[in-house]
Amino acid sequence: RKEVEQDPGPFNVPEGATVAFNCTYSNSASQSFFWYRQDCRKEPKLLMSVYSSGNEDGRFTAQLNRASQYISLLIRDSKLSDSATYLCVVVASGSARQLTFGSGTQLTVLP
Amino acid sequence: DGGITQSPKYLFRKEGQNVTLSCEQNLNHDAMYWYRQDPGQGLRLIYYSQIVNDFQKGDIAEGYSVSREKKESFPLTVTSAQKNPTAFYLCASRGRQVNTEAFFGQGTRLTVV
């Protein structure tokens, strides 16, 4: 079983739609969680951190469920510019490797 | 401005050649990482280093080598032993605290010709 798993998609949604991605992790010692966005042929960039209480940044909402060991990202009112690959990242303390990436979920927002 | 810089952006290698990819950061980060990304795929860890003069193999270290002589620098050498080196290579760095995010360089696109 992979340490971090994501549905690869692709998700094709119309402009204005709401879309949600999930990411599951296997290491219960994981402590920090992030969502990154990667545009085609570019480096990943931080979209938002994920806090235990959940957090929101404009149209984006991230949630953490420690009991079920998953994090989620909700995008409301999708824009064409949201088209990208979304990567979840899990950090586990006590793990020498610390940083584990999911394989990414591809989103295309259609006009 | 603080950041992480990779060079070159594009690199062409002849078969049998070794090439070195540069990664420099001025963020005072302890940890540095090298990832490989193939088209349509996720990031795979090649090597990582948590402190100067120490580094560890990741999932796909065969055919690659690294050094960490300075905190700011973590160069990656793609050796002739790497049979399929054409890929997008990403370097990242991260602070010591567990809640800090990783910062990426712009990547190096390596092509074997």
Judge whether A12 is closer than 8 Å to chain B, CB to CB.
no
DSSP state of B41: -
What's the Cα-to-Cα distance from B82 to each of A99, B64, B79, B85, B90, rounded to whole Å? 24, 7, 6, 6, 17
Place of tokens 């078969």: B15
A104: distance to nearest CA of chain B, Å? 6
Is A57 an 8 Å CB contact of chain B? Answer: no
Q: Among B43, B45, B97, which would you mutate to test the A interface (most chain A Cβ atoms within 10 Å of its Cβ)?
A: B43
What does each of the 113 residues of chain B score in pLDDT, given as a tens digit?
679 999 999 999 888 899 999 999 999 999 999 999 998 888 999 999 999 999 999 999 999 999 999 999 999 999 988 889 999 999 999 988 878 899 999 999 999 88
From CA A23, how far away is CA B103, in angstroms rounded?
21
Q: Does B63 touch chain A (CB under 8 A)?
A: no
In Å, what is the CA distance from A98 to each residue of A21, A71, B3, B96, B113?
Answer: 23, 17, 21, 10, 35
Question: How far is it, in rounded angstroms, from Cα A6 to Cα A103?
Answer: 6
